[in-house]
Amino acid sequence: MQGRAPAAGARDIERYAGLFASRTRVMTSSVMRDLMAITERPEVISLAGGLPDTSTFPAETMAAVMARVAAGSSSRALQYGPTEGMASTREAIAGLVGADVDPADVIVTTGGQQVIDLVCKTLLDPGDVVIAEGPTYPGAVPTLSSYQADVVQIGMDADGMLVDELEETLERLAREGRRPKFVYTVPTFQNPAGVTLSLPRRVRLIELARRHELVVLEDDPYGALRFEGEPLPTLLELDGGQFVIHAGTFSKILSPGVRLGWAIAPRPLLEKLNLGAQAATLCPSSLAQLFVTAYLDGGHHPRYLDELRGLYRGRRDAMLEALAAELPAEASWTRPQGGLFVWATLPEQLDTTDLLALALRNDVAFVPGRAAYLDGRGASSMRLNFSGQAEAEIREGVRRIGAIVREQLDLYGAITGRPAASAGQRGAGEGEPRTDLADVLALPRRAARGERRNAGR
């Protein structure tokens, strides 16, 4: 077995330093990806990943579907395919997303991640403004950084992005003569916050997009994983194909290992995305496309999706119960109606990046909140995943986190002479009302303007 490669030495890096593109100065690793390596130790309970539980997929189904692909189309599965994806896969995706979707408006990509990359490639020059939620998907942070975007993050509450704040921001940017290139949003079961954009806000977001001629990248990996409540129309449905690029993926509803996602977009945008994909990866995997198409054709999908929803609902419940039992009263967290993540916010004197080091020593992991911001905010928050671990592990993982949190609060109290219980009164004196409901979102407020630029991490 090969060990992990040692990091490059300073002298080595110097040799090539003059060759690197300027974008590499702001390219960073995603915290989740780094954590993946650390949390490979089997004794670690990782609540850090965004991993679906692929162990629930029956090996026999996989074998049967692949046998069908091998028997019927082995030569095609092994061959190149069209850049935009195979016709049968595009049709299957259109059917999955909704009756109104024209397969000609769909391109198949190498995972949902590639859609984010291609939208950046198509729309962003260095320094261009992108609007995102605060917190935003931690995996989008390195992508936005690699295109040297100036990301403005808009606050959220339990109903998703604060559209009032978005409107003010758009007006301010217009006054400054800066046109944002796109709004990046995960409106449904947001990663990392777990909240869902309400219908009235969806409608207003689309109105704003039209008024400001603004592309909206709707990243929707989790929409099909709703445990409760009524489904809401997607931004794609509300927009009707004018300004929304809808990104989807098989990662959370079937398999991330197939690396297949898709984009549905207005034709002129779609053509540029396709050009970008061609230059980057030529085409999505034919093997994976035929596997997914055969799987969907086989009629397995609705049942498997039901099974996943039931499984993840139980795990979410286990997590919410454990959080209520283990975290101090001053902490707050979201209560997602679907998806994979809970966002928890601790008393502000705690820094979750520091806490993570202690957590790893106690064999538990989470994503520190800073990974979801481009400006260093999120220091007292954390993203907790409930899809990748069994209920018992979730309870034990949260218990370990709770123990560390209490220990640190006690330590803080002992040092400052203030009782730990008062630690939660963050926000007092800031002129911001503080909600006391632990299951309602309490996200960090936006930083002052000067702090909001891409800090080059």
Footprint (CB under 8 A) of its own copies, residues 47-106? 49, 51-52, 54-55, 57-60, 62-63, 66-67, 69-71, 74-83, 87, 90-91, 102-105
How many residues appear in the chain? 457
Q: How many residues bind its own copies (CB under 8 A)?
A: 108
Residue from the set 152, 183, 209, 254 that interacts with its own copies by CB under 8 A: 254
Residue from the set 138, 142, 160, 368 that interacts with its own copies by CB under 8 A: 142
Cα distance between residue 317 and residue 186, in whole Å: 22
Q: Which of residues 315-334 bind its own copies (CB under 8 A)?
A: none
The site map against its own copies for 7-46 (x = CB under 8 A) is xx---xx-xx-xxxxxxx--xxxx--x--xx---------
Cα distance between residue 4 and residue 37, in whole Å: 9
**Residue where the block lists tokens 């090969």:** 2
103, 93 Cβ separation under 8 angstroms:
yes
Residue from the set 96, 227, 266, 317 that interacts with its own copies by CB under 8 A: 266
Asked whether position 208 contacts its own copies by CB under 8 A, the answer is no
- Which token pair is 139? 């995996």
Q: Which of residues 210-229 bind its own copies (CB under 8 A)?
A: 213, 215
- Give the residue with the Cβ less far from its own copies, 19 or 448: 19
Residue from the set 46, 143, 185, 191 that interacts with its own copies by CB under 8 A: 143
- Give the residue with the Cβ less far from its own copies, 104 or 411: 104
Q: What is the arrangement of strands in the sheet containing 341-345, beginning at the earlier edge strand?
A: 332-333, 341-345, 381-385, 367-368
The site map against its own copies for 279-318 (x = CB under 8 A) is xxxxxxxxxx--x---------------------------
**Residue where the block lists tokens 């991330």:** 256
Strand, helix or coil at 327? coil
Cis peptide before 192 (omega within 30 of 0): yes
Of 276, 250, 248, 274, the residue nearest 263 (C-alpha): 248
Q: Which of residues 360-419 bind its own copies (CB under 8 A)?
A: none
Minimum CB separation of residue 233 from its own copies in Å reads 23
Minimum CB separation of residue 432 from its own copies in Å reads 34
- Give the residue with the Cβ less far from its own copies, 271 or 321: 271
Minimum CB separation of residue 8 from its own copies in Å reads 4
Residue 118 to residues 59, 112, 170, 247, 281: CA-CA distances in angstroms?
Answer: 33, 10, 24, 11, 11
Q: What angle do CA 177, 443, 435 make, to 5 degrees?
A: 125
Minimum CB separation of residue 74 from its own copies in Å reads 4
Minimum CB separation of residue 103 from its own copies in Å reads 4
Minimum CB separation of residue 353 from its own copies in Å reads 20
132, 123 Cβ separation under 8 angstroms:
no
Q: What are phi and psi of 366, to 5 degrees?
A: -145, 175
The site map against its own copies for 168-207 (x = CB under 8 A) is -----------x-xx-------------------------
Minimum CB separation of residue 279 from its own copies in Å reads 4
Q: Do β-strands 129-133 and 182-185 pair in parallel, antiparallel, or remain unpaired?
A: parallel
Asked whether position 276 contacts its own copies by CB under 8 A, the answer is yes
- Give the residue with the Cβ less far from its own copies, 63 or 428: 63
- Give the residue with the Cβ less far from its own copies, 32 or 197: 32
Secondary structure letter of residue 382 according to DSSP: E
Of 210, 206, 264, the residue nearest 238 (C-alpha): 206
**Residue where the block lists tokens 């890096």:** 13
Cα distance between residue 396 and residue 398, in whole Å: 6
245, 269 Cβ separation under 8 angstroms:
yes
- Give the residue with the Cβ less far from its own copies, 127 or 376: 127
Residue 417 to residues 329, 413, 424, 426, 428: CA-CA distances in angstroms?
Answer: 19, 5, 15, 17, 19
Asked whether position 441 contacts its own copies by CB under 8 A, the answer is no
Cα distance between residue 130 and residue 115, in whole Å: 15
Find the part of the chain contacting its own copies (CB under 8 A) among 253-261, 297-305, 354-362, 371-379.
253-261
- Give the residue with the Cβ less far from its own copies, 90 or 377: 90
Residue from the set 154, 186, 217, 258 that interacts with its own copies by CB under 8 A: 258
Find the part of the chain contacting its own copies (CB under 8 A) among 137-145, 167-175, 184-192, 348-356.
137-145
